[in-house]
Amino acid sequence: MVNPGLFSRNKPVNSVKVSFGIPYFTQWGQSLLVCGSVPVLGAWNVKRGVLLSPIHQGNELIWGGSITVPRGFQCEYSYYVVDDNKNVLRSEMGKKRKLILPEGIQSGQEIEFRDLWQTGSDALPFRSAFRDVIFRQSWNLSINPTIGVNHINIEPPESVMIQFKISCPKVEKDTSIYVIGSNSKLGQWKVENGLKLSYFGESVWKAECVIQMSDFPIKYPF
């Protein structure tokens, strides 16, 4: 469901479809809703946010929905557990999520954002999804903090550089952190082939990779 406010009933010109997906098990009478900083996501008025629909995927209950936005669109957003009257029963902790469409995306394309429920910046890295899938201990690893990032020429121009960044205040720097996902650069869901993040100091890990625009949308469990 797309709420009115940002667009008219006519199909927007140069529009892109943005889909949201998040695994979350609710109780009877509960639903998930996404609300954000722009009118199409309710302008932080939860009762005007976009209700998500549930679908079972394996052992997970995935809540999903989509909106149509213009190219160059960006906003902040967050998820909420609500009752049948859209009263908030539970909200995420931590910083608001940021949605920025990649440059060069074409009209009619679809971008999917696959998220995990945020319980707080300190607690998030210790949820089972992070411990069992993304983190892998390396006992004999020597990591030198990277001082800077060299400029990378992206060829061909139909590609985009993606940066992954995570702050883990309670994780020691000799721990290896990987991000995995549906793209070959992210290991196609295999941890051993995932993108390894480098320690940058002050409890921050980063990594960059170049992904072809034709490979979007991509999925990853951050």
**pLDDT tens digits along 98-114:** 998 887 777 788 888 88
Q: Where are the domains of the chain?
A: 15-114, 124-215
pLDDT of 142 above 50: no
Which CATH code fits 15-114?
Answer: 2.60.40.10
**pLDDT tens digits along 4-62:** 333 333 444 578 899 999 999 998 999 999 999 999 999 999 999 999 999 998 888 99
H/E element, 65: strand 60-70
Cα–Cα distances (Å) from 118 to 95, 121, 136, 193, in that order, read 9, 8, 21, 26
DSSP 8-state symbol, 103: T
Instruction: Check if the beta carbon of residue 82 is closer than 8 Å to that of residue 90.
Output: no
**pLDDT tens digits along 161-179:** 888 888 777 777 788 888 8
Burial class (CB in 10 A: 0-12, 13-18, 19+), 78: buried
CA distance 23 to 87: 20
| Average pLDDT over the chain, rounded to an integer | 77
CA distance 169 to 197: 15
